Amino acid sequence: MPLTAFQSETLRLLAARRSPESFLAGGTVLNAGLDSPRYSRDYLDVLYFHQRHLSLGALCWAAAGKDPGVNPFMILQECQRTTHFRPEQFNDLHLAAPLDLQQWKQAWIEGSREAQLSLRRLPAEEVGCLYLDSNGKPVTPEPASAEFPALRRHFGSVRGAWPVIRE
């Protein structure tokens, strides 16, 4: 099945940051050295995805499927614990626009609250699932919606296949 423009863009972004320690379902690495530009960039990447593509709750839910000792609430809690930045940590990121750290922090707090509520509504037996719509696009699941039963379930696996994008 051909990839959509969104899927291609998402995979390009993830592939550019791919390492042996990263996985597709939890594609965004959330831990690195506290003084690392990569660490602060991950924060912005996760917020970007949350605001435009896939919610923080859905990201945490999918990421929890790789390790049976981890659950989505633990991932969210770790994210909340480690998202404290100083403005100078963003200096080397070469961003297209100036960063309003207070605005981003507020968005993070709101996203974290939404994620807590979302995680409580999802079926426990589907932890680690990335939900896809009928076009194969990842979506934020809402169990109370009429569309929820029709969503395709994709569960990540350790040493699973990594897609290759060819143009």
CB 40 within 8 A of CB 90: yes
Question: In angstroms, what CA-CA distances link 19 with 104, 118, 149, 160, 162?
Answer: 26, 29, 34, 14, 11
pLDDT tens for residues 93-102? 777 788 888 8
CB 15 within 8 A of CB 166: no
pLDDT tens for residues 1-13? 345 566 667 767 7
Length of the chain in terms of residues written: 167
First to last CA, the chain: 15
3-state secondary structure of 149: helix
| Model confidence at 119: pLDDT above 50 | yes
| Model confidence at 40: pLDDT above 80 | no
* Least confident window among 88-92, 114-118, 137-141, 162-166: 162-166
pLDDT at 163: 54
d(CA 49, CA 65): 19
**Crossing angle between the packed helical segments 56-63 and 72-81, to the nearest 10 degrees:** 120
Q: What mean pLDDT value characterizes the chain?
A: 78
pLDDT tens for residues 137-166? 899 999 999 999 999 999 876 665 545 555
Output the six-digit token pair for 139. 């979506």
d(CA 119, CA 58): 8
